[in-house]
Structure 1
Amino acid sequence: MTITANESSRAPEAAAEAAPMTHRQIMEALSGLLLGMFVAILSSTIVTNALPKIIGTLGGGQSAYTWVVTATLLAMTAATPIWGKLADLYSKKALVQIALVIYMAGSIVAGLSQNAGMLIACRVVQGIGVGGLSALAQIVMAAMIAPRERGRYSGYLGAVFAVATVGGPLLGGVITDTSWLGWRWCFYVGVPFALIALVVLQKTLRLPVIKREVKIDWLGSFLVTASVCLLLLWVTFAGDKYEWISWQTAVMLVGTVVLAVSFVLVELRAAEPIVPMRLFANRTISLASAASLFVGVAMFSGTVFFSQYFQLARGQSPTMSGFMTIPMIGGLFISSTVSGQIITRTGRWKSWLVGGTALVTAGLGLLGTIRYDTPYWHVAIFMALMGLGIGMTMQNLVLCTQNQVPPSDLGAASSLVTFFRSLGGAIGVSALGAVMATRVQNHISEDIGRLGPDAAKSLGGGGIPDVAALPGPVRTIVESAYGHGVADIFLIAAPIALLGFLLTLFIKEVALRTSLSTDETPVAESTLDPVVTPAISRAALAEDASGLIPEEFVAEGIMVHGHVRSAGAPVPRAALTLISPAGRQIGRAIARPDGRYALDAPNPGAYVLIASAEGFQPQAAPVTVGAQPLAHDIQLSGMSGLAGTVRADDRTPVADALVIVTDSRGDVLAAGASKSNGEYALTELIPGPVTVAVNAAGYQPVALPTEINGNGVTHLDVRLPRSARLRGMVRTPYGPLQDARVTLVDSSGTVVDSTLTGDDGAYAFADLGIGDYTVIASGYPAKTTAVSLGTEPTDDHVIELTHTDE
């Protein structure tokens, strides 16, 4: 199926959407986004404290209880990659609004539910909308804000998450306890917020719309949903409808594996996969996704099962149950806000991930020790630790992933982490819910027999019990069973969170980028002039057949446009400057991630186009602009490097050796000295043939021809032969001979050097090669002597000259 984004009907809107957003515009747009996120989180948390009463009213048991939550998480899991892929290819603003509409429809019908099955189906619809809101909020933020600044705004998102998370259970508890409202209003109350968010987003969010075709991977979406559903159905029914070790278990597990493998194979071949498998080649993305899976288990287990603990194990009302979870939400609020601010200032995030997962693990381990009569302040401290950890971890896993991918994959990468977090939540809630149901039933069965058969009858049909209506002794047994059962699942979740902690240890920290480059807008470096938004008339665009002109560049003017490439590959973020014949700068722009650029020329005529990029040789080219847009592609030559080690013949490193690189004309391209370990490195060299000359005191110089590669660093190790030295004296029988000429000839007969003796008759030759030489001294009748030079200096070669008659 192919969906084509509608073309913008007004040029001014396109130009406005292409311009970078100011801080004020970002905050205005975030107001709508944050409100949408508030709605999404509210829908998940508002029912937590109402669920015991909802399931009791609709006649469901523990399985229905967990599936009301799991259905939403499962729908979020399946829908998140699709929302992420659509965000890479379609209008993000429209997608957020569609997600809000889907959420509202599911909420309204959920409030009309007549049985547990109908409610679960409506929660699926809600989950599709909530999945879109959760994923798109991160994606839209990534499209507006540079990674370094994103920590600050992610703190706002974390704060909203905390407010909605703490406000949802409180609001749900109050609504449930209010007789004239009732639990159905837990679903209706989010609709007005969604309507307000729709209006605010329409007025404030301005993001570019790219005209592209969208190919939805429906088969991949079906396979991943089917595999997860089959896995969760097995977890839910194993030990209840059939034994854990049974033919049903074998069929479901084999089916899950087959569906999962089929999903991977489909994604490898899909034109637009919902989960691009190539992203897993990035170590950070793979580790962050796996860590999100385990964090999802911990995060959702806390928010879902705390309500059962406080209401069924401690006998609290839904409203008080909400108040009792404040320590966890307070910790989440503080840590997410503070970590976001500090990450923005420092650009460092790994310590927060490691510390956060450690706190989550510690909090869950401590919560595994609670019972129905544990002092509340103990439970509060344990919850606060867990909340602090979740706040440090949740948003920053997405942030470190976004920092690793090109702009074209922001949506897919962001939703990938959210996908695994939701998947972990769905699996965790379903599996832990099934475990808890079994554990609670076992604990009750162990103790209820002591009270006689009438006590067992008072529990009813095995659904969620009304603790307040139970007889005193039976109530104590039920409260103890639920307290112990909830603690058991926290104890199981702790080692799962520990796996997330171990994974974060291996994530390599890369400092957050301070610049933003998206598919939708050109980006200006802080050291460059502001990006000039190019423009041409729509009529001219219609006449141009190149297909290279981006839609957001449509306005008025004459455009010079094309691609910046090097060896066939695009050169992103290349700086392009258009210069008039008088030398005045006409326009400046930054090439997009795919190498495209566009500049506005005010009038037809001759111009000079200058292109430069880090790691490439600058280029200037004359261009002649006519009445129509001019397509002009630019090829840049890469700047390469040369590195290696300078060593002596005995492989000892040579320090302070001078390395000089010259081109074919003898011009010096670069020079540098070797370090104490003999290593040297020269950068920004033009690819091609060069001569590398190396010289060091006490060694003979060498010159080596080499070829500098087009990209990367060329490695060249150099061996320097040690030099020899010859010193001596020319004398007569009467004493030293001044101004005698001494000539040194090598073994091939080539004159190496010549010198005159000084007042003391001394002569010297340095930096000589090791070997045999002939020394010729003249002044009197010439005399020839032979000398063999080695690594040790020869300082006593005396030549005595005499007249022939002496």
Structure 2
Amino acid sequence: MSAQPAAPPAAEPMPHRQILEALSGLLLVLFVAMISATVVSVALPQIIGALDGSQSQYTWVVTASLLASTASTPIWGKLADLFDKKLLLQIAIVIFMVSSLACGFAQDTGQLIAFRAVQGLGMGALQILAQVIIAAMISPKERGRYNGYLGAVMAVATVGGPLLGGLIADTSWLGWRWCFFIAVPITIAAFALLAKTLHLPTGRRQNVSIDYWGATLIAAGVSVLLIWVTFVGNDFDWLSWQTAAMAGGGVLLLALATWVESKVREPVVPLHVIRRRTPALAILASLAVGMAMFGGSVFLGQYFQIGRGYGPTAAGLLTIPMMVGVLFSSTISGRMVSRSGRTKSYIIVGLVVLLAGFAGLATIDHRTSMVLVSAYMLAVGVGVGMSMQNLVLVIQNTVPLREIGAASGAVTFFRSLGGTVGVSVLGAILANRVAADIVDGLARAGIPTGGAGPAAGSSLNLAALPEPVRLIVREAYGDATGHIFLVSTAIAVVGLIAAAFLKPDTLRDSLDLPEETAGRGAATPA
């Protein structure tokens, strides 16, 4: 192993008051980054209509930011290990603020897509840097209770984004541009707050080596795979030359990236970390949690609006049980983790509850009692809150402070990647099931399917459909949603099995690993 870079003097945990002051700005940054990813979801039809965009451009407004955010996450994480974390966070805030302002002033969909890609870079940076900085301030054992706040903010942003977007879309005097403008004053406030309250050790790394080839190959490989997942099943078949070219090309690029990462001195994704038992299992379990976060908010919102006939604002309000579940479970379990110093039991319980919630949602249709749907969503929220941040904590506990950024970036990257791929696959399953159910429903009603079927299956403008067709479409969406959560249940089982094999470690009290352990971290299995 090559000589380790010179380390700064041993870092000491911050006093509780100083942590809370810095945490207020970090949580504000994390909140605005995450809410910007979801606030446009409900208002997107209005945005694309105002800019005279097409259906493919509709998809790319979402995909552009998702691609940039997911692909850049491990790169930002590694940069946090090499350079001043506070300066990187301030740069990310400026990138995010300027791009949000640009999105709000976009004059056509091409401009909006380009600005959303830049916004995605800022979103990915803010999400991972907030976690890395918290890890640099607080020991793993104490981090549990603070991670509860982190998980609560992520939950409120994930579920509250569509609600806020619905309120903006339903308020005529605001207009869709405020879906982007609303982030600007919040980021300005966060920048000022962090400039005053965030004080981190400024030890300099010597002989810094940046892995440009690895970063480029990882970003390119992930982008190609995410583009493929976005369009497969709609623009071309799963078994087609496009699939072979894009999926094969993406895998080849990532294989080359893996080879590069095994050779360079400062890899973007440290292979010696993620191939060890504990991090590898935690990453696998995180994929299921990622699907819960993304899939739950995306498809339940669609279920309420299309399958049950609620408006955008009401659909956002109906997802509150999930938000409440994450809010309370992440806060309470975080404090219990800090008190006990152990995480595995809380992760296992959380994934069991998550599995039960998914199993319940797998039974819903267009007539299911909203009380039952709320109970199932509450269970999903509780499961996510107990497991999501604790899985990150498991990995952070196994690595030295100098690798905390790359390790945190890796688990966040895989969770986002799993959620993105999962949402796309579940969306394809939903679309196929809805199309089949609509055709069957029209046939039973004696309505010719020559023109109505395809139109009904592809158009979400239910007000433009005849009443009998509208009812059939609503029933199709309501009934098909349960089918995709059956698939989510199976994926949650995989996450639970992975978590069951986690090593029951005790969280350390110190910010960093002991020097002798940190020095041989690459060789010691965990």
Higher strand share: 1
Match in the other structure for 1:169: 162
Contact 1:56 1:464 in 2 (8 A): no
Give the drift of 1:234. 3.0
Partners in 2 of 1:62 and 1:480 — Cα distance?
A: 24
SS at match of 1:511: coil
The aligned counterpart of 2:486 is 491
Residue matched to 2:523: none
Distance 1:356 1:348 in 2: 14
Letter in 1 for 2:370: Y
1:101-116 alignment, distance < 5 Å:
101-114=94-107, 116=109
Output the CA distance in 2 between the equivalents of 1:148 and 1:27.
16
- Gaps of at least 5 residues in structure 2 are 1-7, 521-526
Within a 5 Å distance, the mapping from 1:517-532 to structure 2 comes to: 517=512
Residue of structure 2 equivalent to 1:282:
276
- Equivalent residue runs for 1:288-299 within 5 Å: 288-299=282-293
Note if 1:33 corresponds to 2:30: no
Alignment of 1:195 with 2:212, yes or no, is: no
| 2:388 aligned partner | 394
Contact kept, 8 Å, 1:66 with 1:430, in 2: the verdict is no
Q: Identity over aligned residues, as a percent?
A: 53
Structure-2 separation of matches of 1:123 and 1:365: 35
**Residue equivalent to 1:185:** 178
Aligned counterparts of 1:398 and 1:107: Cα–Cα separation in 2: 28
Q: Report if aligned partners of 1:52, 1:308 keep a CA contact under 8 Å in 2.
A: no
The alpha-carbon deviation at position 311 of structure 1 amounts to: 1.3
The structure whose residues are more often helix, as a share, is 2
**Equivalent in the alignment of 1:403:** 397
Alpha-carbon distance in 1 for matches of 2:76, 2:222: 18
Aligned to 1:479: 474
Distance 2:259 2:80 in 1: 23
- The CA deviation at 1:26 is 0.9
Q: Which residue in the other structure is 1:508 paired with?
A: 503
C-alpha separation in 2, matches of 1:18 and 1:352: 29
Measure how far apart 1:441 and its partner are: 2.6
Matched, 1:351 2:322: no
The residue that corresponds to 1:360 in the other structure is 354
3-state SS of the aligned residue for 1:385? helix
**d(CA) in 1 for partners of 2:53, 2:457:** 9
**Within 5 A, what are the aligned runs for 1:243-392?**
243-392=237-386
Q: Does 1:240 pair with 2:234?
A: yes
In the superposition, relative to structure 1, how do residues 443 and 58 fare at CA in structure 2: closer, same or farther (>3 Å)?
A: farther
What SS does structure 2 have at the residue aligned with 1:167? helix
Residue 66 of structure 1 and its aligned partner are, at CA, apart by 5.4
* Cα deviation digits, residues 678-698 of structure 1 (max 9, x gap): xxxxxxxxxxxxxxxxxxxxx
- Cα pair distance change 1:58/1:492, threshold 3 Å: farther
Which deviates more, 55-64 or 204-213? 55-64
User: How many Å separate the matches in 2 of 1:60 and 1:364?
Assistant: 35
The answer (yes or no) to whether the contact 2:361–2:485 under 8 Å persists in 1 is yes
Letter in 1 for 2:124: G
Highest RCO, 1 vs 2 (Cα 8 Å, sep ≥ 6) = 2
How much has 1:192 moved relative to structure 2?
0.8
| 1:301-339: CA deviation from partner (whole Å, max 9, x where unpaired) | 111222211112112111111100001111011110000
User: CA–CA distance in 2 between the matches of 1:354 and 1:64?
Assistant: 41
Q: Secondary structure of the residue that 1:50 maps to in structure 2?
A: helix
Q: Residues of 1 paired with 2:410 and 2:94: CA distance?
A: 23
Give the letter aligned to residue 506 of structure 1.
F
Larger Rg belongs to = 1
CA offset digits 1:137-170 (Å, max 9, x no partner): 1111111111111111111112222333343222
Give, in whole Å, the separation in 2 of the partners of 1:411 and 1:324: 36
Is the Cα–Cα contact under 8 Å of residues 267 and 273 in structure 1 kept in the other structure?
Answer: yes
TM-score, structure 1 length as denominator?
0.60
**Cα 1:335–1:485 shift into 2, 3 Å:** same
Displacement after TM superposition at 1:388 (Å):
0.5
Q: For 1:457 and 1:284, how far apart are their aligned partners in 2?
A: 53
| Structure 2 residue 124 is the aligned partner of structure 1 residue 131 | yes
Which residue of 1 is the match for residue 69 of structure 2? 76
Note the C-alpha offset of 1:65: 5.5
Q: For residue 434 of structure 1, what is the aligned residue in structure 2?
A: 428
Q: Count residues in correspondence.
A: 511
On the 8 A contact 1:69/1:429 being kept in 2, the answer is no
CA distance in 2, matches of 1:435, 1:221: 33
Cα gap change, 1:303 to 1:173, in 2 (>3 Å) = same
CA distance in structure 1 between the partners assigned to 2:406 and 2:346 by the alignment: 24
